[in-house]
Amino acid sequence: MHVRWPGDFESVYRDNPENNHERTTMRILLLLCTALTCLPAAADDGATEIFNGKDLSGWVVDGGKTYQDKDGQKPVWSVQDGLIVCAGAKFGFLRYDKVLTDFAVHVEYRMSKGCNSGIGIRTVKFTGPARTRPSYASYEIQVLDDAGKAPGKGSSGSLYRHLAPKVNATRPAGQWNVMDIECRGPHLRITLNGQLLHDLDQTTVEGTKDKPLSGYFCLQSHSRRIEFRNVRLKELGATGTLP
């Protein structure tokens, strides 16, 4: 890295050898200031980027890992142009490899036409049987290309199979959606594109009262392409352990 000094300021130090110490100190300070301006800005809320924009370090693929197309075998999950890209060609999940208890997650996604996907929270490792899917073991927040349709237990933003969202806030395929999820004990709060989908105490709902209070966060591959970006996590308490 080369830092160019302003001409007059540099000449003062060059022409006065006795000022070498001050010159060295000032050069170090300038280099430090330049380096600091190159660092990525930390999120104001203390959240951490859990996708580095380059590869899938810290994540594990459960279920289908590759698929066959006309050009040969390709990965279901990949990183392209700084995005997590899911081809949607095999059923499975991309799991963040850390058990979480109380946390907040921010995630943005863009669906292709006809996409069906989902976001798992406090779930177990998917090993194939239906009982290890988030919608059975814990929660799957449905992600579906169904903009404009009535909300239901299988619509976008639903706690799939369990609870319909207050509204269907999803945007049409090709547009970015913004989801924020907060889990504190039995309390769940989920918003999509700034609209509240769920704000509940799971112990007050018959179908959810026994859902786990810790587990994994994951993204689903079901059908059609979907892209993810800006995946940020803020832990609100100690990490947990699976029962």
Domain locations along the chain: 7-37, 48-235
Per-residue pLDDT tens over the stretch 50-86: 999 999 999 999 999 999 999 999 999 999 999 999 9
Alpha-helix runs per DSSP H in 111-204: 134-137
Architecture of domain 48-235: Sandwich (2.60)
215-221: strand order across its sheet: 59-63, 92-100, 215-221, 116-123, 139-144
- pLDDT score recorded for residue 54: 97
Q: What is the mean predicted confidence (pLDDT) over 186-190? A: 98
C-alpha–C-alpha distance, residues 5 and 188, integer Å: 54
Q: What is the mean predicted confidence (pLDDT) over 121-136? A: 98
Per-residue pLDDT tens over the stretch 219-240: 999 999 999 999 999 999 755 5
Residue 103 makes CB contacts below 8 A (sequence gap 6+) with 182, 183, 217, 233, 234, 235, 236, 237
19 three-class SS: helix
pLDDT of 20 above 50? yes
User: What's the chain's average pLDDT?
Assistant: 87
Phi, psi of 107 (to 5 degrees): -145, 140
Let me know: does 133 contact 126? Beta carbons within 8 Å.
yes
Let me know: does 228 contact 51? Beta carbons within 8 Å.
yes
pLDDT of 29 above 60? no
Q: What is the mean predicted confidence (pLDDT) over 25-52? A: 57
Per-residue pLDDT tens over the stretch 166-185: 999 999 999 999 999 999 99
C-alpha–C-alpha distance, residues 169 and 148, integer Å: 8
Q: Is this prediction's pTM over 0.85?
A: no
- pLDDT score recorded for residue 45: 74
Please, what sign has the CA dihedral across residues 122, 126, 130, 131? Answer: negative
Q: Which range has the worst mean pLDDT, 3-7, 60-64, 201-205?
A: 3-7
C-alpha distance from residue 32 to each of 3, 6, 22, 201 (Å):
11, 17, 15, 49
